[in-house]
Amino acid sequence: MTTLANLHPGESGVIHAVHADESLFQRLSALGFRQGKKIEFIRRANFNGPLHVRIGSTDIVLRESEARRIQITH
């Protein structure tokens, strides 16, 4: 198991868990970050910027600090 922040562009996995405080958990859940959902890492912005990911047909940009809270299985 790893975190979303450790994936490389083109890699994908399945969300295992989201470890966040209640407000961040609710926001991520509303965006589709739920256990069992497939997630694809699209790209990382320059200078260790935000991560661009895809869940289903939805593209989302996350801070690395948020991505580290999302556990992924390959």
At 21, which CATH number?
2.30.30.90
pLDDT given for residue 12 in this prediction: 97
Would you say 40 and 12 are in contact if contact means Cβ atoms under 8 Å apart? yes
Classify residue 23 by its DSSP letter.
Answer: H
Q: What pLDDT, on a 0 to 100 scale, did the predictor assign at position 61?
A: 97
Structural domain total, the chain: 1
Model's pTM, two decimal places? 0.91
Q: What is the per-residue pLDDT across 16-45, written as a single tens digit (0 to 9) for each?
A: 999 999 999 999 999 999 999 999 999 999
Residues 6 or more apart whose CB falls under 8 angstroms from that of 49 comprise none
How far apart CA 44 and CA 35 sit, in angstroms, is: 23
